Amino acid sequence: MKLRSVARTDVGRKRQINEDAFFRDDDRAFYVVADGVGGHNKGEIASREAVDQLRGWVFGARDELDKLVDRVLDGDHECVWEIRRLLEAGVKSACYMVFGMAELDPEKKGMSTTLSACLVCANLAFAVHVGDSRVYRVRRNSVLQLTEDHTLINYKVKHGMMTKQEAEKAQGKNVITRAVGHKDYVQVDTADIDITVGDRLLLCSDGLHGYFTADKEVADLCGDGDLEECAEAAIALANQRGGKDNITALVVEVEA
């Protein structure tokens, strides 16, 4: 399979600095979106550093990944967990580095970031995730969210402390419970899912998905059409609905 991607990022209508960062590499099938945590020092440095650290980790493990992919193609699906653990270790390494930078420089004290990444291997997409940026798979009109928001609101809904209807009206939707660099260690979520020709992946910051009213809007934006137009339409939608945060949309298409 061949991959093709487009990314757009925008400061939005309320912020002065864009603290989002992204990376995309179609040849190596690796994609990342990060959102420096608002209200903290140097969020833009945290997001950029986390993306760079994870990219370096994954690229440094390319030989090992290639061997694991060969095993997957040979039908050895036990090694899927090894790929997930490798990505998890990369995010933990990035977390340690961002935290260490903040410890060494008082001006960077408290900086941290969300981090959502996707690596495509064989016919699988692997997601690794901390915070409330998201990864979606769009298959025609079907939308599947691969990541789970690490937010206080989502935690309350998940544990029956609040209904989804109450959550929609609740304050503090941007209060996250996990971030890369907040401490020297972070719990990382991983997932894998099948992909096929025609599928699309959307990686985005909460400055975009916070304005989605239903999964159908994800399919409407990214399900088909020109990739550049999809990414630009996503930015426009968020700005039209308020643009209160930085906005990043990275759209990936699986081609034959």
Beta strand extents in the chain (DSSP E only): 2-10, 20-25, 30-35, 115-121, 124-130, 134-139, 142-145, 189-194, 200-204, 247-255
pLDDT of residue 75: 85
Integer Rg of the chain from CA: 17
pLDDT of residue 1: 79
Domains of the chain: 2-255 (3.60.40.10)
Q: Check if the beta carbon of residue 68 is closer than 8 Å to that of residue 198.
A: no
What contacts 234, CB < 8 A, 6 or more positions away?
Answer: 8, 202, 204, 208, 221, 222, 247, 249, 251
Write down how long the chain is. Answer: 256
**What is the per-residue DSSP string for 128-163?**
EEESS-EEEEEETTEEEE-----BHHHHHHHTTSS-
pLDDT of residue 39: 58
Pick the more confident residue, 13 or 256: 13
- C-alpha 34/C-alpha 47 separation (Å) is 5
pLDDT of residue 38: 58
- Percent share of the chain, pLDDT over 90: 78
Pick the more confident residue, 119 or 158: 119
pLDDT of residue 45: 94
pLDDT of residue 67: 93
Parallel, antiparallel or unpaired: strands 142-145 and 134-139: antiparallel
165-196 per-position pLDDT tens digit: 787 777 777 789 999 999 999 999 999 999 99
Q: How many helices (H) and strands (E) does the chain have?
A: 8, 10
Written as six digits, the tokens of 73 are: 């193609």
Average of per-residue pLDDT values in the chain: 93
242-254 per-position pLDDT tens digit: 999 999 999 999 9
Phi, psi of 193 (to 5 degrees): -150, 150
**Predicted TM-score (pTM) of this structure:** 0.94
Evaluate if residue 115 carries a pLDDT over 70.
yes
pLDDT of residue 100: 95
Mean pLDDT of 63-90: 92
Q: Check if the beta carbon of residue 83 is closer than 8 Å to that of residue 193.
A: no
Mean pLDDT of 31-57: 91
